[in-house]
A and B are shown apart, each in its own frame.
Chain A
Amino acid sequence: MDNINKEYLMQILNKKIRTDGRKFEDYRDIEIETDISKNAEGSAKVRIGETEVIVGVKLEVGTPYPDNPDEGTIIVGAEFLQMANPEFESGPPSVQSVELSRVVDRGIRESKAIDFKKLCIEEGKKVWLVLIDIYAINDDGNMQDAASLAALAALSNTKMPKYDKETEKVDYKERKGKLPLSKMPIECSLAKIGEHILVDPGLDEERLLDAKLTVASIGNKIHAMQKAGVGTLKVEEVETMLKLAIEKNKKALEKINKK
């Protein structure tokens, strides 16, 4: 792991280049691999640079919320495994991992990427619960975007198991039909360091940033935003970041659709 201090990082950024040679608006190389865990209904592994995140989707049957009796739902959880970074400690999920999971949830939920009504089995009684479990296995910055992408990739290859109404049991060995995922709300995270705005922060940039903005979007519509970091953002900076995020997310979707 490289080590750099903020003063020196600013010197480098002032020359309009990043410590790994990238330009401010460059994303690192992305690798997506699906179906990496057979017992999951859907799974994927995403690598951005050296950051690696694994996501698995499991389907369970539960009772719907009283105010949405004909809708299933998603439940997103995330864990930063201790192996991912020597500084990660043991214990219950850190608040950062909780935030990461909630931002991934927001992007999927608010964009209505999954038609929750199609997850209904018996109105008022039984619905499908889509459990999305995120595990970060190597942290080199921007686990947020890797997690979101892995979740989407896992959902897109998720097959529905069979629910037997008589026995009220789920048959995981029989999987047919795809999960009703109709959109891909891709997330892009940007860091502000000094007055510079950088796409896809690496580990050192994430550690030293003043503020970070994560934006989930489809086309020109923005479905979720989260500002992180203790610093502040000016309106113009938000505008710049939104523009960049929308562009990056459009490009990413193009690439995924090609595959």
Chain B
Amino acid sequence: MGKILVKNKEMVVPGEVIVEGMDYLPAGNVFRENDKIIAETIGLVNVDNRLVKLIPLTGFYKAKKNDVVIGQVRNITFSGWLMDIGCSDLATLNLRDASSDFIDKKADLTKIYNFNDTVIAKITNVTKTGYIDLTMRGPGLTKLRGGRLIKVAASKVPRIIGKQGSMIHIIKEKTNCKVIVGQNGFVWIQSEDPVNEKKAIDTIRLIEKESTTEGLTEKVEGLLK
């Protein structure tokens, strides 16, 4: 039988030993060294049966197939666009995946998506060398007009969305804003009134800062009264 050295929900830093024993398996943000499983990032311990993982508290985004992300056009090539989705490499959107609408071969690509345009796209493939493929063919995948883009830690996205979208729903309703959260931590906000936009942004930043605090939902509702 192994030994659990850190209780669930306690914070650990890189290099800290979480459990000892070969029965346990590393399951996320941890690694095995001999018979020990050790933290690789700052996070909260989560031991479920034999699986040991960390709920990361820091976090840049790691591209995953099928994630719906928000991106910005950084470059246009002969065959498509290169998008910033918060990864170290730009992601690729090919002409043939660019839209459910028909695109003429001789089309001016800047007329479809121009530099710095913001779009919602889906990741179709991630190779070992970090090459990321996107598509914008599909429901809900479209160019976003106007609005602002803020970046939050990708690890906080689930909290910002909430259980079955409950948290994001409160924000949208109470601030009267359109809010779309990409899995990559890019969040798009748009409203008629810039004051509302700021309210939504402040709320999202609060959730990002206190994501695992108990009673966060009540706190958010209080802020948005």
Residues of A within 8 A of B (CB): 1-5, 7-8, 11-12, 15, 17-21
Known: A3-B72, A5-B116, A12-B194. A19 touches B148 (CB 8 A): yes
**One of A7, A11, A20 near B198 (C-beta < 8 A):** A20
Interface positions of B from 113 to 162, Cβ below 8 Å from A? 116, 118, 146-151
A15, closest chain B residue (CB): B194
**Cβ contact within 8 Å between A3 and B195:** no
**Cβ contact within 8 Å between A21 and B149:** no
**Cβ contact within 8 Å between B198 and A21:** yes
Known: A12-B194, A21-B198. A2 touches B148 (CB 8 A): yes
Residues on the B chain within 8 Å of A19, using CB: 148, 194, 197-198
Residues on the A chain within 8 Å of B201, using CB: 2
**Cβ contact within 8 Å between A4 and B149:** yes
**One of A4, A18, A21 near B148 (C-beta < 8 A):** A4
Tally of B interface residues using CB under 8 Å: 15
**One of B147, B193, B195 near A8 (C-beta < 8 A):** B147
How many A-B contacts if CB must be within 8 Å?
33
A204, closest chain B residue (CB): B148
Bound complex: CA A232 to CA B194 (Å): 27
The 0/1 profile, CB within 8 Å of A marked 1, for residues 64-106 of chain B is 0000000010000000000000000000000000000000000
**Cβ contact within 8 Å between A3 and B148:** yes
Residues on the B chain within 8 Å of A2, using CB: 148-150, 201
**Cβ contact within 8 Å between B116 and A1:** no
**Cβ contact within 8 Å between B146 and A11:** yes
**Cβ contact within 8 Å between B195 and A17:** yes
A4, closest chain B residue (CB): B148
Bound complex: CA A3 to CA B70 (Å): 12
Known: A12-B194, A21-B198. A7 touches B148 (CB 8 A): no
Residues on the B chain within 8 Å of A12, using CB: 194
Residues on the B chain within 8 Å of A4, using CB: 148-149
**Cβ contact within 8 Å between A3 and B150:** yes
Bound complex: CA A18 to CA B197 (Å): 11
